[in-house]
Amino acid sequence: MSNPSLLILPGDGIGPEVMAEVRKIIGWYGDKRGLVFDVSEDLVGGCAYDKHGTPLHDDTMAKAQEVDAVLLGAVGGPKYDNLDFSVKPERGLLRLRKEMDLYANLRPAQCFDALSDFSSLKKDVVAGLDIMIVRELTSGVYFGEPRGIIKEGNERVGINTQRYTESEIARVARSAFELARKRNNKVCSMEKANVMESGILWRDVVTEVHQAEYSDVELSHMYADAGAMQLTRWPKQFDVIVTDNLFGDLLSDLAAMLTGSLGMLPSASLGAPMENGRPKALYEPVHGSAPDIAGQGKANPIACILSFAMALRYSFDKGDEADRLEKAVEKVLADGLRTADLLGAEGVSPVSTSEMGDAIVAALDATL
């Protein structure tokens, strides 16, 4: 039986630095747990443009289609701001999502107790927070036609079309319900059925899928604007939230800041099952390429490391090992170790990117 395969795409800015720490974790699992991965590495984003004139080479795209999971760092930077839209670094990431048909984006918002003071909300509101937002990723207003900027009379008009099919809504709803069954068995679907026909269809289809296939899961509905309000009022009322591409973009960023730092947040983008039964998958930290601190050893590698933990759980059915890694991260934070983005509290020890990675490896060792 062959080893599970991983394609690593470090990307730009701090991407290579945080991915180097993930490499340590992957090596630890091979050495200490007998969980060996076949790892390959390639370019995406600005570095790919520098070498190939495109943010994602066709050969790299082909590799991504063949492996069990893709792990990405970050893309972009001011160096590429003046490039044509079609070859900007971000287009490489969007191509991966689109051609792999990664329609369900999983964005956890988890607040470790040691970091609850970093949230802008009161500690009792966010301490112990653990919710998951499932965002539809390949349709909706970001992809709908017609779109563009046209001239009407003497002025320009910008057009974007919100468009969803029943099947697109149903498949992301199933992803949310399946995920809820492994958590607290509760889903809240968010849309704007009060003012948008696409929202009416969204609510109808989610309800139909629930009644036909997942009646054991608790389902509620909420308008997306009310959902944003409730996320800041009492986020722990939620478990799994499922929503469309646009609202998911907004709500997941809102939920991210409940936890205090973007440097802590992973994500997974999942598609249809492959022949081996594993979903096509791409895992990436939520943070950007942070070119202002690239190469300085200040980057927080935890979001990228937790993205690998998500890969262990959702691509490789190693939930116990994902738990082990997440608890190691929690232990390091509880011990007071902090990268630059998390400084400011008393009794903490400032550490570099590599020192944080080493500390997490040491915490993993302590679990054996």
**Residues carrying an active site annotation:** 142, 192, 225, 249, 253
* Distance from C-alpha of 29 to C-alpha of 199, rounded to nearest angstrom: 44
* Distance from C-alpha of 273 to C-alpha of 269, rounded to nearest angstrom: 13
* Distance from C-alpha of 321 to C-alpha of 342, rounded to nearest angstrom: 26
Pairing of strands 266-273, 240-243: unpaired
Residue whose tokens read 């792999």: 100
* Distance from C-alpha of 226 to C-alpha of 124, rounded to nearest angstrom: 21
* Distance from C-alpha of 271 to C-alpha of 172, rounded to nearest angstrom: 9
Q: Please report which residue ranges of the chain form alpha helices under DSSP H.
A: 15-33, 46-52, 58-66, 89-99, 123-126, 166-181, 197-213, 224-233, 245-258, 302-314, 319-334, 353-365
Instruction: Give Cα 52 distance to the centre of its chain.
Output: 27
Maximum Cα–Cα distance across the chain: 71
* Distance from C-alpha of 137 to C-alpha of 97, rounded to nearest angstrom: 8
Contact 73, 15 (CB under 8 A): yes
Q: What tokens does 89 get?
A: 């670094």
